[in-house]
Amino acid sequence: MSSQTETIRRVTVPQLRARKGADPIVSLTAYHAHTAAIAEKYCDFLLVGDSLGMVMHGMESTVGVSLELMIMHGKAVVRGTKRALVVVDMPFGTYEESPSQAFRNAAKIMKETQCQAVKLEGGARMAETIKFLTERGIPVMAHIGLTPQSTNIMGGFKTQGRDEDEWQFHIDDAVAVAEAGAFAVVVEGVVEPLAEKITQAITVPTIGIGASKTCDGQILVMEDMLGLNDWVPKFVKKFGAVGEAIEDAIASYAEDVKSRAFPTQDNVYGSKK
Per-residue model confidence (pLDDT) at position 5: 57
> Is 188 in the active site?
yes
- pLDDT score of 90 more than 90: yes
CA gap 176, 131 in Å, rounded: 10
* Residue of 118, 111, 67 lying closest to 93 (CA atoms): 67
Can you list the positions of beta strands (E) in the chain? 25-29, 45-48, 85-89, 117-121, 140-145, 184-188, 206-209, 217-220
- pLDDT score of 36 more than 50: yes
- pLDDT score of 2 more than 50: no
- pLDDT score of 127 more than 90: yes
For residue 54, the tally of other CB atoms under 10 A from its CB is 19
Per-residue model confidence (pLDDT) at position 4: 55
- pLDDT score of 229 more than 80: yes
CA gap 24, 216 in Å, rounded: 5
Q: What is the pTM of this model?
A: 0.94
Quote the DSSP letter at residue 86.
E
Average pLDDT over residues 109-132: 98
* Among 188, 223, 247, 255, the one annotated catalytic: 188
Over residues 248-267, the pLDDT tens digits come to: 999 999 999 999 999 999 99
Average pLDDT over residues 233-241: 94
| DSSP letters spanning 133-201 | HHHTT--EEEEEES-GGGHHHHTSS--B-SSGGGHHHHHHHHHHHHHHT-SEEEEESB-HHHHHHHHHH
Confidence bin at 231 (pLDDT 50/70/90) = confident
